[in-house]
């Protein structure tokens, strides 16, 4: 099933429109396209094409993860594209360490701003601030000596309830509704849950890894070197907000994070990867030094620092596909009509 944040298959989908297909058929199509992707990326990796592409690319790589969960919890809960099993994440970051120089996002931004070389440079980021990212992914990265940045939804640590896109009622009804929920309903949790006929968040049994991290954990991991970025107060679609609402999401999110952790974020992540010129300019006025999107690609010197591209890593991706995507070799997706 496709993710609300990004598609989780490895090749462009050839499935009929979601409204005309059953959930079982969609799952079969996703499995088939994933299998084709594995074959494709395995073949080009074995032929040395992936390595050649990686060596020739000039741009900096910024990876986007969301959550890492225990292997036993694989595929059991939440948006299927966001929750990566720990063993799969371990394989990816071990490969990354062997093929890239992984540096803090802030240092990567400084390199881009100064025009220094960014060939072979990568940064690791996490959106949303899941407990699994802080208790499973970050300790592993520390052991490997790899820095990371987590972008926090500032209201989430206090509530400690599910993000709306992980609610079972929303997950069951994802197909064909992404545009409606992110644009027509503005990514507003209350409106989306009502639209999906969902029960209250507190009524859904949830493993801790799938919940937002609380403030003590966030502060503890920040003190241990985890960089903190801002991801708004409530994770609404910023392009649908009035100017005053937009300013609130951008400014008060930073204030709340600083109050709780002592860290003032200077990097921002656009919720759902949705942004436009008005939103980007508001991000700059709010004092952020950089902002990351979900636009796919690498980042050459001279790129707009408030429109940095990332490689969004879906939970279904194989290691050969991961190597290809990080080298800038993800196929273009067919545009919807």
Strands 101-102 and 311-312: unpaired
Residues 27-71: tens digit of each pLDDT: 565 665 666 666 666 666 666 666 655 665 679 999 999 999 998
Q: Is 67 helix (H, G, I), strand (E, B) or coil?
A: strand
Strands 61-65 and 311-312: parallel
Using pLDDT thresholds of 50, 70 and 90, give the confidence band for residue 19: very low
The mean-pLDDT minimum among 2-11, 116-125, 138-147 falls in 2-11
E strands in 23-175: 61-65, 67-69, 83-85, 101-102, 121-128, 149-152
The one-character DSSP state at 173 is T
E strands in 100-204: 101-102, 121-128, 149-152
| Cα→Cα distances 289→105, 170, 186, 280, 286, Å | 11, 34, 26, 11, 9
Of 53 and 173, the structure prediction assigns the larger pLDDT to 173
Domains contained in the chain, CATH given = 18-326 (3.20.20.370)
Residues in Cβ contact with 121 at an 8 Å cutoff, skipping those fewer than 6 apart: 60, 61, 100, 101, 103, 108, 111
Residues 69-110: tens digit of each pLDDT: 998 777 678 888 999 999 999 999 999 999 999 999 999 999
Distance CA(314)–CA(129), nearest Å, equals: 17
């Amino acid at each position: 099933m496709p993710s609300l944040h990004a598609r989780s298959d490895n090749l462009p989908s050839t499935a009929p429109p979601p409204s005309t297909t059953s959930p079982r058929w969609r799952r079969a199509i996703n499995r088939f396209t994933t299998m084709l992707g594995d074959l494709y990326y395995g073949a080009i990796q074995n032929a040395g094409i992936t390595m050649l592409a990686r060596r020739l690319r000039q741009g900096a790589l910024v990876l986007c993860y969301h959550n890492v969960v225990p292997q036993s919890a694989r595929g059991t809960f939440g948006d299927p594209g966001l929750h990566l099993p720990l063993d799969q994440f371990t394989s990816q970051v071990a490969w990354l360490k062997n093929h890239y120089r992984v540096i803090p996002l802030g240092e990567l931004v400084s390199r881009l701003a100064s025009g220094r070389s960014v060939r072979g440079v990568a940064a690791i980021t996490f959106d949303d601030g899941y407990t699994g990212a802080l208790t499973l992914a970050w300790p592993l990265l520390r052991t490997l000596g790899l820095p990371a940045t987590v972008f926090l939804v500032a209201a989430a640590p206090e509530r400690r309830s599910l993000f709306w896109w992980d609610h079972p009622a929303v997950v069951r009804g994802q197909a064909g509704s992404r545009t409606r929920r992110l644009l027509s309903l503005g990514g507003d949790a209350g409106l989306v849950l009502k639209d999906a006929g969902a029960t209250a968040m507190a009524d859904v049994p949830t493993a801790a890894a799938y919940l937002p991290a609380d403030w003590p954990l966030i502060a503890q991991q920040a003190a241990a070197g985890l960089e903190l970025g801002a991801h708004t107060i409530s994770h609404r679609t910023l392009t649908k907000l009035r100017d005053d609402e937009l300013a609130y999401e951008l400014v008060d999110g930073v204030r709340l994070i600083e109050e709780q952790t002592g860290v003032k974020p200077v990097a921002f992540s656009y919720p759902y990867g949705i942004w436009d010129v008005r939103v980007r300019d508001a991000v700059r006025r709010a004092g952020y030094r950089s902002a990351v999107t979900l636009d796919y690609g690498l980042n050459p010197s001279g790129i707009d620092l408030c429109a940095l591209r990332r490689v969004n890593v879906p939970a279904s991706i194989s290691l050969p596909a991961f190597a290809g995507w990080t080298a800038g070799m993800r196929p273009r997706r067919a545009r919807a009509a």
